[in-house]
Amino acid sequence: MALYNRINGKELKEKLKLSDEQRTTISFYKYHYIIDPGAFRNELYKLLDQIQVLGRIYVAQEGINAQISVPSSQLDHFRIQLFRIDFLDGVRLNIAVDDNGKSFFKLKILVRKKIVADGLNDETFDVTNCGVHVDANQFNQLAENPDTVIVDMRNHYESEVGHFKNAICPDVDTFREELKVVGELLAEQKNKNLLMYCTGGIRCEKASAWFKHIGFKNVFQLNGGIIKYAQEVKEQGLENHFVGKNFVFDERLGERISNDIISVCHQCGNPCDNHTNCMNDGCHLLFIQCEECAVKYSECCSPECAEIFAMPVEKQKEIRKGINKGRQVFKKGRSENIVFKPIHQA
C-alpha cells in the first residue's frame, strides 16, 4: 500500500468540506526513545490510514507529537489500536473543545529531528526531570498566589487571540526563542512559582525541565494544556481563567474557550479573533480578518494581494515563479500589510 497521500490537497479539502461524516479532533504526544523513527512512521501510517485517520504527526527519536481527526464511529477502535503500541498504551488523548470535524483533510506523518523545535541540546540536562503537573483546579489556586508568575509558552499569534488572565505573553515567533526570552525575563524571580501553559502540554514538558535545569526552584505546568483545562472547568464547574480563543494548528485555526474577543482585525481594528490565511498563494500570510474586510479584500491581507488573486491562475503562477515563500513561519501576523498590531504582555 502507499505510505503517502497522493491526492491533490485542494480536492481533499473540497471533499472534507462537503462531507457530513462526524469526526473527532484529537491531539496527543509522548516523549519516548524510538530506535528507528522511519520504520515506526511507516507502520503507524499503515495503521492509521486503515482507520481513515487524518492529521499531522511528527515522529523523532525522542517521541511522537500528533494532531489528528478520527471518524467518530471509529473512536473506540482507534483507541484500542493505538494503545497496542507499547509506549502509547494509556497515553492521554486531548479531545478538541470546539470541534466541527473539519480540522484535517489528509494524513501526513513526518520524521523530524525533534517533535518540537526547541533548539536545546538534550544531552546537557535531564529532559525527564520536568515540572509538577497541575490540573485546572490546582492551576486556578496557584494563579491566585501572589508569588506565582504565569507564563504563556506559545507564540505571539496564539496568545494574541486568547490567554490566561495576568499571564506574561512574550512577543516571540518560535518556541526556541521563547525559552531564551523567558529565561532572561524571569532571571531574578527563580524562587517564585513558575506556572506555565501551552496548547496541549507538549511545549511545557520540555520547557519545565529546562527551567529547572537553569535554576528555577518551583516549576509547574498545566497538565493537558489549555484543551484539557477547558474541559475540566466545564465538567467541574470551576471558574474559567482563560479569556478568548485557543489557537490550534489545523484547518479550524481556533477553539472558542470564552466569549471574550481580546484581539482586533488586522485591517480595520474592529474586535475580531478569526485567523485566516491570505488567499494569494504567493503570500499565504496568517492574519486576523473580520467578515467585512474579508469581502473588501477578497480574503487577502492587502489590496496588492487581492489584485493578484483576481488574476487568472496561470498569471498568478507566473508572478510567483521562482520565488520560495516557504512556510511563512516567521511572518504570522508580522507583515508591513498589517495595520493594527497586537500589544503583548512581556
The single residue of 198, 204, 265, 272 carrying the catalytic annotation is 198
3-class secondary structure, 201: coil
Give which of 250, 328, 285, 335 is closest to 66, Cα–Cα.
250
Amino acid at site 24? T
Spatial CB neighbours of 187, under 8 Å, sequence gap ≥ 6:
none
Cell of 323: 520565488
DSSP 297: T
Nearest to 140 by CA among 241, 208, 257: 241
C-alpha cell at 140: 486556578
DSSP secondary-structure letter at 62? T
Which CA distances in Å does 21 have to 18, 57, 121, 228, 255? Answer: 9, 22, 44, 25, 20
Closest CA to 273 of 252, 295, 288, 258: 288
Task: Examine the residue annotation and report whether 305 is marked as an active-site residue of this protein.
Answer: no
Strands (E), 173-308: 193-197, 218-222, 242-246, 255-256, 275-277, 286-288
- Residue 132 is placed in which grid cell? 509538577
Q: At what angle do helices 136-143 and 225-236 cross, to 10 degrees?
A: 100
Positions marked catalytic: 198
